[in-house]
Amino acid sequence: MEVLERIRKWLVAEGVGFREVHHEPTRTSEESAAARGEELRVGGKALLIKVDETFRLFVLSADRKLDSGAIKRHFGARKTRFATPEELMTATGLVPGSVPPFGAPILAFQLYTDPSVFENTRIAFNAGSLTDSVILQIDDYRRLAQPVIFQFAAA
């Protein structure tokens, strides 16, 4: 609950309205969307990816697939891979599927967001657990998260 509590406090301090949904544990984006009562595309899928030797956080609409080639091209990288569950736990204290779509001050990673996220009026995401989700307006997300935006979702 530590990450969820930090997100709550940050959103309240920033005067951002949000909705919380407590639900059964969800492992997939589809399960999370159903539990929240939201369309799949509203979900923000946050992925910790190692780009060459650096872990970075990437967020795309939950109805899209990752284009790792676009990430390699953007960074001029030779290789990319997803963080293993063990690496994710060590770096964040979180399990796969519970990573929120925020860099600092919530998670200590550079944040990159695909434009697909901003095609929606709001973003929904698991907030540090598989049983707690937060939904907020997309303009508030963009203002607070301040991500680098480039296309890395497959068309």
- pLDDT for the residue 16: 97
Residue 62 lies in a domain: yes
Domain containing residue 102: 2-149
Residue 155 lies in a domain: no
Residue 154 lies in a domain: no
Residue 85 lies in a domain: yes
Q: What is the full DSSP assignment across 110-148?
A: -EEE-GGGGGSSEEEEE-SSSSEEEEEEHHHHHHHH--E
CATH number at residue 32: 3.90.960.10
- pLDDT for the residue 87: 98
Residue 95 lies in a domain: yes
pLDDT tens sequence across 103-122: 999 999 999 999 999 999 99
Q: Angle CA(26)–CA(140)–CA(61) in degrees, nearest 5?
A: 40
> Within 13 A of 59's CA, how many CA atoms are on the CB side?
30
Residue 13 lies in a domain: yes
Distance between CA atoms of residues 55 and 58, nearest Å:
10
Q: What is the full DSSP assignment across 37-73?
A: T--GGGBEEEEEEEETTEEEEEEEETTS-B-HHHHHH
> Total structural domains in the chain?
1
Straight-line distance from the first to the last Cα atom of the chain, in angstroms, rounded to the nearest whole number = 35
- pLDDT for the residue 149: 98
Query: What is the value of pTM for the model shown?
Result: 0.95
pLDDT tens sequence across 63-106: 999 999 999 999 999 999 999 999 999 999 999 999 999 999 99
**Could you tell me how far CA 155 lies from the centroid of its own chain?**
19
Q: How many CB atoms lie within 10 A of CB 98?
A: 23
